[in-house]
Amino acid sequence: MSSQTTVTEFLLLDFSDIRELQILHLVIFLAAYLAALMGNLLIITIVTLNCELHSPMFFFLINLSIVDLGSISVTVPKSMSNSLLNTRSISYSGCVAQVFCLFCFLGANLSLLTVMAYDRYIAVCKPLHYGIIMNRRACIQMAACSWTAGVIYSALHTGNTFSLPFCHSNTINQFFCEIPQLLKLSCSDTYCRELAALVLSMFLVLGCFVFIVVSYVQIFTAVWRIPSEQGHQKAFSTCIPHLIVVSLFLSTGGVAYLKPISDSLSPLDLLAAVLYCVVPPLMNPVIYSM
């Protein structure tokens, strides 16, 4: 039998061997991280302190901001720390925690966006029953289900990935622990694991996507029946930002995980990772604030 070594740490992507470029990477990521941090914290603070905003839509928006804070905090600070300290290492347990937390936040994000589509459907299509259907207890239960779905989704992905033995290498061609990159390092056949991960992801994503599309078809149908132009504008002003956020999240995630996995890092791989890890948490506060 071939000898296998136990991996105790992984080596993440080194953006450059040149110290000046490492500092540039640190500055860019730090600026994006601070902007996302301030934007999401500002939304949480304003909604919490303003009693007029204590409605289901803004309750879910607070949860979405917490998810955005968590998802960008899982990957970006570690990458900045490695650039600052001129190192590439992340411990095995740290990599497990990073994968688990990232997929927990991503799963909760998609679930919350689906719940928010349902909230907009009730607000536009059944306005007279909105207060009864979207009561405080129902909102808390839907938010709790979204977080629970994220935890379960993450646990399945994390367990599926780290139950594999790693012996080919410990070098990850990405600035964080990404599952497709980790599967390449396994010394066993990963076809079934990759298929299981793909089926699980497609089941969640397609289910939420279909629900959101059906909700918005009924929303736009109801909006066109509103006789006043002011009614049109009010309905669109609450629906369009959510639709933009959904499109941004699904498009960046789709680019990252549906593209072919290359043996060596390409600019597209790095760009795709930055798109779905950094851009949504950075842009969501801007979109909703407008």
Q: Where are the domains of the chain?
A: 19-289
Q: Give the CA count within 13 Å in the CB-facing half-sphere of 246.
A: 22
Digit-coded pLDDT (tens) for 53-85: 899 999 999 999 999 999 999 999 999 998 888
Digit-coded pLDDT (tens) for 27-60: 999 999 999 999 999 999 999 999 888 999 999 9
Sign of CA dihedral 191, 197, 201, 207: positive
pLDDT band, residue 214 (cuts 50/70/90): very high
Q: What burial class does residue 253 get, using C-beta atoms within 10 Å of its C-beta: 0-12 exposed, 13-18 middle, 19+ buried?
A: buried
Looking at residue 90, its pLDDT comes to 92
Query: What does the pLDDT average to over 117-131?
Result: 91
CATH superfamily of 19-289: Rhodopsin 7-helix transmembrane proteins (1.20.1070.10)
Count other C-beta atoms under 10 Å from residue 195's C-beta. 10
Whole-angstrom distance, CA of residue 210 vs CA of residue 66: 25
Whole-angstrom distance, CA of residue 103 vs CA of residue 260: 20
- Give per-residue burial for 269-284: e unless 16+ CB within 10 Å, then b: beebbbbbbbbbbbbb
The residues facing 186 across adjacent strands are 166
pTM of the model: 0.88
pLDDT at 256 over 60: yes
